[in-house]
Amino acid sequence: MTGFGKSIAEIPQKKISIEIKSLNSKSLDLNTRLPWIYKEKESEIRNLVSQKLDRGKIDLAINFDVLDAEIVPVINKNVIKNYFTQMKEISSELGINSDEQILSIIMRLPDALKTEKPELAEDEWIIVREKISEAIEQLDGYRSDEGKSLEADLIRCIGKILGFLQEVEHFEVERTNKIREKLNSSLIENVGKQNVDMNRFEQEIIFYLEKLDINEEKVRLKKHCEYFLEKAASLPPNGKILNFIAQEIGREINTIGSKANDAAIQKLVVSMKDELEKIKEQTLNAL
């Protein structure tokens, strides 16, 4: 499920921004972008995220602006002295007088300047950790709101499937009569009315209609829909269960369609399949 969270921490010399966002994913996939000073805390940051968020493609970024000079280059005296001694020796050997130029040359050589990076203060980390938790809570709030909307969509789709199922019943008696008339006309046309054994014909009709009976499928489909609504209202994680139930709903709808032998019922089956595809797509977003 998608979501976004942001928090800002202001401490002496720094303004720290924490952003976290998520996209749909079957598992937890966490990507972090951290300044060097927080690299040592990456494992703890990952634990903070995983404790609150079960799944999703998560991107967490921490950035900061230095309000005062925190990293100052320092002259590396030992390295410069060593360079100077060596260059004086070379100049003497070559008979070159370059005392005035030596220092400017040395300052451009590697390691003449060193950067001393401060360590992460514990007080600063406590503040940053609280702000990370705050951003995660924001993201989780977004996802909760989206979940409520998702639940409403799922309930609406299931309601439509149940509504189409009720409409199927309106066409069943007419379907039976159509099948009987069609078979009777075909039989008379091929063998003649005087040669038709009506008792045998009725027995065959009953046998044929039993094969096309969809009462069991309708009962199971209704039960699956009711079970889906029950699980949709339960606490997560229930996304996988909803997906499994949706597959069972699909089997019953397909069976009704294969047995329908009626254009009106087939249209209703197509409408049910359309709603089911919406459900399957949405259950991938549910935890």
Q: Which of 66-70, 179-183, 245-249, 269-273 has the lowest mean pLDDT?
A: 66-70
Average model confidence (pLDDT) across the chain: 82
Separation CA 102–CA 81 (nearest Å): 11
Both tokens assigned to 253: 């709808």
Residue 223 has pLDDT above 70, yes or no: yes
Residue 150 has pLDDT above 70, yes or no: yes
pLDDT of residue 75: 75
Could you tell me if 280 and 153 are in contact, meaning their C-beta atoms sit under 8 angstroms apart?
Answer: no
- Going from the N-terminus, what domains does the chain have, and what CATH number goes with each? 3-69+120-143 (3.30.230), 73-115 (no CATH), 145-283 (no CATH)
3-11 sheet: strands from edge to edge: 3-11, 14-23, 56-66, 28-33
Dump pLDDT digits (tens) for 59-87: 999 998 865 555 556 777 788 888 888 88
Report the interhelical angle of 198-211 vs 122-191 (nearest 10°).
170
Residue 200 has pLDDT above 70, yes or no: no
Dump pLDDT digits (tens) for 14-46: 889 999 999 887 788 999 999 888 888 999 999
- For tokens 């909760």, the residue is 144
pLDDT of residue 226: 94
Q: What is the mean pLDDT of residues 146-157?
A: 90
The burial class, CB within 10 Å (0-12 / 13-18 / 19+), for 77 is exposed
**Burial 95-105, CB ≥16 within 10 A → b, else e:** eeeeeeeeeee
Whole-number CA gyration radius for the chain: 37
Q: What is the mean pLDDT of residues 230-255?
A: 88
Dump pLDDT digits (tens) for 85-129: 888 888 777 777 666 677 777 777 777 776 666 678 888 899 999
Question: pTM of the full predicted structure?
Answer: 0.64
Both tokens assigned to 50: 């995983």
Q: What is the mean pLDDT of residues 236-260?
A: 89
